[in-house]
Chains A and B, each alone.
Chain A
Amino acid sequence: MPRLDLETPDMDAAAVAASPSRRVRFPAPHIPQLSPKARLVLVAALVVVAAACYLFLFIRGSFAFSIDRRLTMLGAMTIAAFTQGLGTVVFHTVTNNRILTPAVMGFDSLYTLMQTLMVFFFGGAALAQTEGIPKLLTQTALMVVFATILYRWLFSGRFGSLFVLLLVGVVFGMAFESLSTFVQRLLDPTDYDLLATRLFGRMSNVEAGYLPIAAAICVVVGVLLWRRRHRLDTLLLGRETATNLGVSYTRELTTMLVVIALLVALSTALVGPMTFFGFIVAILSYQFAGTHRHAYVLPMAFLLGMLTLVAGQFLLQHVVGSSGMLSVVIEFVGGILFIALLLRKGKL
């Protein structure tokens, strides 16, 4: 084919200068020389350093006891980083936006409602007695079932639209939230007190026995996502372009929504609701990955999640001296970032 020079470099410059869309919304931090692989290695190294600091520094009293406790918590943080980070990135990809998070689909609210109803019907003592793997699995399964039924129903209906789905998610979330608030008003103060401790992220008192099974689920999901990383890339182009490229869009979308449901449900059941953690991690990983490709963005989201949690916990525990506040700090910072981005972009 003959090559034709359509552009001289000067014309490009003029055209770009005249273009209204030249404004870059998310100015990337200036480390463009590093390849995506080098960036991953760098962040992984930071995670290792942070984890080592967290595990081995400032040990007072029994070494074995401290390490045991800290390893459990490190495990919980790993699961939370994996589920929240990957869940949010995949959610952003399939919904073609970078503001809304799975929390908007009503998961956290469903968790809150389930806990609240449990206390309401069985009393505060029941909460303590029903801790265990069956409860974790039941909660996870319930949320996945809820999500799958919701998506199936929405996609088999005449509106195959994601916006309708999101709207329904918001409405469900609000309904669950209101119902929870209503039921909470009816509780006696002791029960309410017990309940309140459940409704914040509780990374610091996670049950060690849960971790192996949660890790196994994460590995299965990780393998599934890794095998689909290229297909996820095409979903970034939107429904029509992805379809043009031969991807069965509806099938991929449904699969991914179930995966997201699984991840978020697991995370919520294990460490409690965290609305903005996944959001922070996803936004940061787009900035730091240096590419759109999920082969890099997904591991980056996991690693940045680890770094945020481990370094944050280390600093809070030993520098500020208030170890229980990590999730509150993350939600606070995440909420501010969320509002800042929303105001800056002016749209979803």
Chain B
Amino acid sequence: MITITDVTKSYGDETVLGPVTGQIAKGGVTSLVGPNGAGKSTLMTIIGRLLEPSEGSVTVGGLDVQAAKSRDLAQMMSILRQENHITARLTVRELVAFGRFPHSQGRLTDEDHRHVDLALDFLGLGPLAERFLDQLSGGQRQRAFVAMVLAQDTEYVLLDEPLNNLDMKHAVLMMRRLRDAADELGKTIVIIVHDINVAAAYSDRIIAMRDGTIAYSGTAAEIMRSDILSEVFDTPIEVHELAGRPIAVFDPMAQSVTHDAVRTDEESAVASV
């Protein structure tokens, strides 16, 4: 369980987050959604102890992330940021092997190698394992970083936009992998996703953020409503039932939240906020 208590983050006089209080239950996939600047990444980096909150505290699995030993936390929780810049020239396998550091402190055992192979296979990186990162496309590199975090084999996995740079096929595969990790391995996965329909299709819970606070949270069915999404994203969004799933669509011509025209499917586009 992740418990967030009165967390705020301010830079100077400007408060960019909070106060936020809430819980993320153990197990399953939780998606953070919301417009740009809503505080999703800030909240996630505070949970992942990469950023110190101005006020408040966060516990993950009972450990206070600011007070607990970094190494103990690293065995329980892993976090991947959006931007990952590395000066050294590493192969995919070397990068993924870094995920085992919290367990082996750099001296890899057979068990560690097994986890590395598993993570590489899990994301289909086997054929690319000996490639250097600078020889990969953006999407392949993204998968290599996710593989590193999965090799860390932690109970809690926080991913900031893991679908960055991925095409539709790989985005779907990535989400299915994460779903599998939650269902089969019992991991707690928290992700930031921009595509609300992807969030709805794969998440157990959705947390919708706006203006630095949690606006709504609930199951996909509870959040996928026209009024809620239009308010959160400040743009008219309709939710239609399609193939048994709620699908959010935006109005390409819309200027404001109030619009009345009933559009045909051809005129609407699937929301990709």
Contact = CB atoms under 8 A, between A and B. Distances in A.
B136 A6 contact: no
Given A6-B124, A230-B101, A234-B101, A244 B88 contact: no
B161 interface: no
Interface residues of B, number: 54
B24 interface: no
Interface string A232-246: 011011111101111
A292 B124 contact: no
Interface stretch (A9-17, A34-42, A207-215): A9-17
B79 interface: yes
B101 A245 contact: yes
Contacts of B75: 246
A221 B75 CA distance: 30
A239 B51 CA distance: 11
Nearest to A9: B127
B192 to A, nearest CB: 15
B155 to A, nearest CB: 14
Nearest to B76: A246
A65 B73 CA distance: 61
Contacts of A98: 87
Contacts, number: 119
Contacts of B125: 6
Given A15-B140, A98-B87, A230-B107, A243 B50 contact: yes
B101 A6 contact: no
Contacts of A96: 85, 87
Contact of A231 (B50, B99, B106, B128): B106
Contacts of A23: 134
A236 B139 CA distance: 22
Nearest to B86: A237
Interface in A52-98: 92, 96-98
Contact of B90 (A9, A16, A230, A292): A292
A92 B139 CA distance: 28
B36 interface: no
B114 to A, nearest CB: 12
Nearest to B173: A6
A238 B86 contact: yes
A238 B127 contact: no
A247 interface: yes
A238 B173 contact: no
Interface in B48-99: 48-50, 70-75, 78-81, 84-90, 94, 98-99
Interface stretch (B115-123, B218-226, B235-243, B249-257): B115-123
B84 A4 contact: no
Contacts of B79: 240, 244
A18 interface: yes
Contacts of A22: 134-135
A198 interface: no
A236 B170 contact: no
B264 interface: no
A24 interface: yes
A35 to B, nearest CB: 14
Contacts of B127: 7, 9, 12
Contact of A6 (B70, B123, B152): B123
Contacts of B50: 239-240, 243-244
Interface of A: 1-7, 9, 12, 15-16, 18-19, 21-26, 92, 96-98, 229-231, 233-234, 236-241, 243-248, 292
Interface of B: 45, 48-50, 70-75, 78-81, 84-90, 94, 98-99, 101-102, 105-107, 118, 121-128, 134-140, 143, 149, 152, 170, 173, 177, 180, 184-185
Given A2-B180, A21-B134, A97-B87, 13 more contacts: A1-B122, A3-B122, A4-B124, A7-B124, A7-B140, A234-B98, A236-B87, A240-B50, A244-B48, A245-B101, A245-B152, A247-B70, A292-B88
Top 3 A-B pairs, shortest CB-CB distance: A230-B106, A6-B124, A246-B74
12 contacts: A6-B170, A19-B138, A21-B138, A230-B101, A237-B86, A237-B98, A240-B81, A241-B98, A243-B49, A245-B74, A245-B101, A247-B71
